[in-house]
Structure 1
Amino acid sequence: MKITVIGSGKVGASAALNCGLRELANEILLLDIVQGLPQGEAMDINHQLSECGSDSLARGSNNYEDMRGSDYVVLVAGVGRKPGMTRMDLLKINAGIVKDVAGKIASFAKDATVIVVTNPLDPMTYLAMKAIGSSSKQKVMGMGGMLDLSRFKSFIQEATGVSRESIQAMVISEHGENMLPLTRFSSIGGIPLHDFISKEKAAEIFEKTRKVAAEVIALKGATVYAPGNAVATMVESMARDKKTVIPVSAYLDGQYGVSDLCIGVPAVIGAGGVEKVIELKLDGAEQDVFNKGVASVREAIKALPL
């Protein structure tokens, strides 16, 4: 098994490390255009993996041809979101990078399953899917929902004081200003979340989840650890064919009344990639937020160099 991570900055290195700690591949390749960076990160990661007893081997390269034979490719390349920026501010900058890198994936690792991490997540996932090829709809997905879910669960734990292990939750829609944390579909030990908290507290958790990414970025410049873990969780579900239900940015072809667009939805993730998109019955307020997310992503797609 081989995993390639394209982009060896903090998030890419975190993704590689998390995959190595779970021993998801014999080889984890870090690729970057910056000379020395992926090689140095690979050395550092190998030192930790060695002490932890993991037999995954990380290596670094500046040559895209080295991704040949990859089972999974994690696309992190691009400019990171800076304090005060929205994800959509990144659109024009990162679209060219993602299209170029996706073309290289199509050339050297066309059979790989691809996880897109570059922001703005949903339009970049769509762009990568189109650039790699029309047969890749189930094998290209975006990481955003899994990251949003980790933040949502953290706020649920703060509000309830229960073990994080007991919390089940779901976040869908756009990875950005129109994300939709679904308190109505969340539970603790199988008991509806609304049995534990008031409507006011649920609304507070909803807003905190939507805004916390900007807060983390303002405080430390980038989110690193939760994205790396999210990538590893997605890879693990595919590599071990776990068929975990995970919120990912997936291509919709009629589901939720939406076609020809990538956006966050719950999906069964297994050896075949996005094996099934699960359609939830949203209420009026939830549907309104989801529709705003669809409109925002569709507007962004219009500006893409397809």
Structure 2
Amino acid sequence: MITIVGSGKVGSSIALQAGMREVDDSILLLDIIKGLPQGEAMDINHTLAEQGKDTILRGSNEYADMQGSDIVVIVAGVGRKPGMTRMDLLNTNAGIVRDVARKVAEYARDSIVITVTNPLDPMTYITWKVTNFKPSRVMGMGNLLDLSRFKSFIADELKVSRHSIQALVIGEHGENMLPLVRYSSIAGIPLMHLISAEKAKEIVEKTRKVAAEVIALKGATIYAPANAVAEMLDAIARDRRAIMPVCAYPDGKYGIKDICIGVPAMIGGEGIEEIVEIELNDEERAIFDNGVKAVREAVRSVEI
């Protein structure tokens, strides 16, 4: 069973996408708002029935109903508003995530946890510390969402099929995210063979800023975050051992032991099965380290 804590727009979209992929035969939508998860579950079940999908959703307002969950997704929290950065949500969402993590540790002790609440990297660290789970069983979604945006801009610029793009984004899910042009390619052809350095820099900046643009236009980002989580759920549920960027506790990799940050990792049935350490040049390392510094400062400023 998969439990999704928070059944607003993002949480319910995760449930729909996971149901369409049939990553599990049972999904629980959990929320403190009476009626909301039950209504969303009914609506999504009707969609899945017409599509011939056999995943069954149910809604609940009781944390005890997550008992026996294999995977728990934490979406609960306050979302960004126009003009806000992810870090502006730190104090409010730290308390929410801390409380949810305690419930996960109480009712779903054997689960793998995916944190989605912003600011993503500090919230993932709080989840890990509060649950006291193995680092391999706690991860955050952020960089996979960043990657979807990076790939979209590459496709728009080069007018190529999105299917042919391989790319990577690591680091903080925030102002210091690191889209790695040097590790990106089109059908195996290095991206820098097909694009100017100036244009590549422009795409990187667009990737960093586009979430705020979407929020200014429609109030929230919904479908791309939900897709990123569904991809992670699929990798875990099917034990795909897929390499993807996730927020993780590096446990000494990249020289980091005290925070969670976005890194490439192998994701399978046991959660984070391996963190892949790649070489960064001086410019890349400086951006990555700025993100580490920002996350470290955020973690130190909140109660865990």
Shorter-normalised TM range: over 0.9
Alignment of 1:115-194 (within 5 A): 115-133=114-132, 135-194=133-192
CA contact (8 A) 1:127 1:304 kept: no
* Residues 62-103 of structure 1 deviation map (CA, whole Å, 9 limit, x = unaligned): 000000111000000000111111111000000000000000
| Structure 1 CA distance for aligned equivalents of residues 273 and 215 of structure 2 | 33
| Structure 1 CA distance for aligned equivalents of residues 43 and 194 of structure 2 | 44
CA contact (8 A) 1:82 1:222 kept: yes
Alignment of 1:182-221 (within 5 A): 182-221=180-219
2:269 aligned with 1:260:
no
Give 2:278's aligned residue: 280
| Structure 2 CA distance for aligned equivalents of residues 258 and 130 of structure 1 | 16
2:3 aligned with 1:4:
yes
Give 1:238's aligned residue: 236
Shift of 1:296: 0.2
* Residues 241-288 of structure 1 deviation map (CA, whole Å, 9 limit, x = unaligned): 101001000001111111121000000001111111111110111001
Give 1:89's aligned residue: 88
CA contact (8 A) 1:128 1:140 kept: yes
CA contact (8 A) 1:73 1:112 kept: yes
Give 1:64's aligned residue: 63
| Structure 1 CA distance for aligned equivalents of residues 279 and 168 of structure 2 | 13
- Relative to the length of structure 2, the TM-score reads 0.99
2:102 aligned with 1:103:
yes
Letter in 2 for 1:80: G
Counterpart secondary structure, 2:250: strand
Give 2:31's aligned residue: 32
Give 1:42's aligned residue: 41
- Runs of 4+ in structure 1 deviating by more than 4 angstroms, as ranges, are none
| Structure 2 CA distance for aligned equivalents of residues 232 and 39 of structure 1 | 20
Shift of 1:136: 2.3
| Structure 1 CA distance for aligned equivalents of residues 283 and 6 of structure 2 | 38
CA contact (8 A) 1:252 1:259 kept: yes
2:18 aligned with 1:19:
yes
Shift of 1:128: 0.4
Gaps of 5+ in 2: none
Q: How many residues align?
A: 304
Letter in 1 for 2:42: M
| Structure 1 CA distance for aligned equivalents of residues 278 and 302 of structure 2 | 29
| Structure 2 CA distance for aligned equivalents of residues 305 and 102 of structure 1 | 14
